[in-house]
Structure 1
Amino acid sequence: MLNSSLQDSAAPEGVCYGCGSSNPHGLHIKSYWHEDGVHIMAEHLPDAMYCGWPDLVYGGMIAMLVDCHSSWTAMAYHYRSERREPDTEPGITCVTGNLGIKFLRPTPMGIPLTLRAKVEGDVGRKTRVICEVYAGAVLTAIGDSIFVRVDTEQLAAAAHGRKVDTRDY
């Protein structure tokens, strides 16, 4: 594994609530390459405020963990396929194209969650990521999602209604 997380290496100024290193109110999810060179790993212990049903993790929290961690898995994959380190320019950004979550079992509060993700395939700018969520040794959820590589300036401009060349995102 890297000494610093993918988030801290590639986007230390990141403001995402889930994984942004510089969001003072965020969760600060940290993702790392596993020693197998295939999986990206993260651990998170949800605070009690993210309780859904009594003593269970809120499903939206699980979805956010899968979303952020899977996005970083896609970006790490692109950096590696270009034989670059995450702290090199130009930066690589992937956004969620489709987020799929299958809840297999209730996820208990008070147990550290492990996220284990890998790229299942990519076509052009689209990358499919499978992300498993474990509470201890128990698999509780699986994400099957698509992430799209984008130019963030173009994407932000389009989101705010500014004219852009839509072929770029």
Structure 2
Amino acid sequence: MNDASLQDAAAPEGVCYGCGPSNSHGLHIKSYWHEDGVHVMAEHLPDAKYSGWPELVYGGLIAMLVDCHSNWTAMAYHYRAEGREVGSLPRIDCVTGNLGIKFIKPTPMGVPLTLRAKVEGEVGRKSRIVCEVYAGDVLTAIGDSVFVRVDTAQLTADAHGRDA
């Protein structure tokens, strides 16, 4: 098994604030297949500057963690569905189609967060990802989101109104 994170294996040049290895100001979230072969896992210890209320994690940070980690879960499942190693070419990319977060309990600062995600249903152009967020052993939030497989060159060209 490769010890590199999904992000480092597939997109070492990535600039996403949450998970891009090359963003010098980013959080550098790292996602890995769990030994159960079903879940994709990540851990993060929020810095105090991401407080929402005193001693509580800002909900927007939780949403970002769920967004980035769920996206990498979708991409990992796509690679596996095609029988390919993460990072093999052509690269697989997904974007957020719908991000849903249910906050269950306040998330305390100073406690490592564990994200545990998997695809619910079929892996397709649009895939549903459920991502649980734990502070220690306590479930504090659940993401239920849809990620869409895309051609990023075309996506960027469309966003800027030019041909790919």
TM-score by length of 1: 0.95
CA RMSD of superposed structures (Å): 1.0
Residue 122 of structure 1 corresponds to which residue in structure 2? 122
Report the CA distance between 1:163 and its aligned residue: 4.1
CA deviation vs aligned residue, 1:68-111 (integer Å, no higher than 9, x gap): 00000000000000010112100000000000000000000000
Output the amino acid matched with 1:106.
Answer: P
Q: C-alpha distance in 2, partners of 1:113/1:93?
A: 25
Give the equivalent residue in structure 1 for 2:157. Answer: 157
Q: What is the distance in 1 between the residues matched to 2:107 and 2:158?
A: 37
Identity %: 79
Output the amino acid matched with 2:155: L
- 1:98-109 equivalences under 5 Å are 98-109=98-109
Shift, 1:2, TM fit:
3.6
Contact 1:43 1:115 in 2 (8 A): yes
Q: Which residue of 2 aligns with 1:86?
A: 86
Which residue number corresponds to residue 32 of structure 1?
32
8 Å Cα contact 1:131-1:142 kept in structure 2: yes
AA in 2 matched with 1:57? V
**Structure 1: distance between partners of 2:9 and 2:118:** 19
TM superposition score normalised by structure 2: 0.97
Task: Give a deviation string over 1:97-146, Cα, whole Å, max 9, x none.
Answer: 00000000000000000000000023630000000000000000000000
Q: In the alignment, is the contact (CA less than 8 A) between 1:2 and 1:32 conserved in 2?
A: no
Which residue is equivalent to 2:8?
8
